[in-house]
Amino acid sequence: MMRAGWLTGIVALLLIDSVWASSSSSAQWVTIPAGPFLMGTADEEISQQEDKSGIYGSGKPWFVDERPQHSVTLPEYQIERTEVTNAQFRAYVIQENTRVPLEWIKNGYLLDRKILNIATLSKLRDLAANLFRLDLDVSKMTKEDILDRIEAHQQAQDNLPVVTVDWELAQGYCTWLGGRLPTEAEWEKAARGPDARIYPWGNRWDRSRLNIGEDPDYPSGVTPVGHYPSGKSYYGLMDMAGNVMEWTMDDYRAYPEGKLPAGAKGKGQKVLRGGGWGGLGHYVISHFYRTAYRFYLPRTAQFNDVGVRCVRDLHHD
């Protein structure tokens, strides 16, 4: 309870901090040209793969909600080159005094040096050990040394994708940025390009091109955005497979002339795309990282492999 009270007071002070509040987003936008693309999975591809959903405990039969493959024509739009980072999302949280991602409450990300300097040495040692979980003996360290280590620990998280954001918080960020969440079609076109790629980089599975949670340098699971440049999409977008799943604007519905899996509850569920680093145990199934793969969750879901990427409309005279 003491730690919760400390955090509440710290966040209240932090929200009026002029230095942090002046930070701005560094979003990089990629223009996706107008025109058609093929959305969904072709029957020929499905016929070449065995449905192993029962073997791996998948929540739904494979491919059912990805058919029929159909042509969709979209106007020109822009999408972020990378997933939204902690540093980018921090500017929104502070400026708008909005909810904090659940992960930040757990790891203390929002607590900067100036605020932590208010703490006594005893309290700071407790936070270093039990909140920031620094892998070192802080019992004999000075206050400045501990602050240095915490600051470095915080900065190392700046370029990681923000996680544990629910749909409303993700959409709120995109609106603040001057955009919105992508539709499913916008996300899929940006991921697979004009040549209907199975994976963002091409048609052959290659686990070295994406984050599947196996990097020992990043024990939290997520890796910095753009950490796997060989996995970039046709349009140069990073991490369209792996790292974190990304919310879309759309409710989970069947495609035209298609159907959802038996028993699926589409109402109230939002679609996520891209496949995250977590949840696959000691094995990796390439199926979940295909550009056509659809996942869905309640809009209130907050998981450590769920993040956000925004789009914005282009208006032409």
Element (H, E) at 171: helix 167-176
Q: What is the CATH architecture assignment of 29-87+161-313? A: Alpha-Beta Complex (3.90)
Q: Please give the DSSP secondary-structure letter assigned to residue 69.
A: -
The confidence score (pLDDT) of residue 58 equals 67
Sign of CA dihedral 164, 170, 174, 180: positive
Residue ranges, the chain, pLDDT below 50: 1-6, 8-9, 11-24, 282
Domain ranges of the chain: 2-24+99-155, 29-87+161-313
The confidence score (pLDDT) of residue 64 equals 93
Q: Residue type at 190?
A: A
The confidence score (pLDDT) of residue 105 equals 92
What is the reported pTM? Answer: 0.89
The confidence score (pLDDT) of residue 20 equals 41
| DSSP one-letter string for 217-249 | T-TTS---TTS-GGG--TT--S-SSSS-EEEEE
What percent of the chain is modeled with pLDDT above 70?
A: 86
The confidence score (pLDDT) of residue 14 equals 47
Which residues lie below 8 Å from residue 36, measured CB to CB, with a gap of 6+? 71, 72, 73, 74
The confidence score (pLDDT) of residue 47 equals 82
The confidence score (pLDDT) of residue 4 equals 42
The confidence score (pLDDT) of residue 55 equals 55
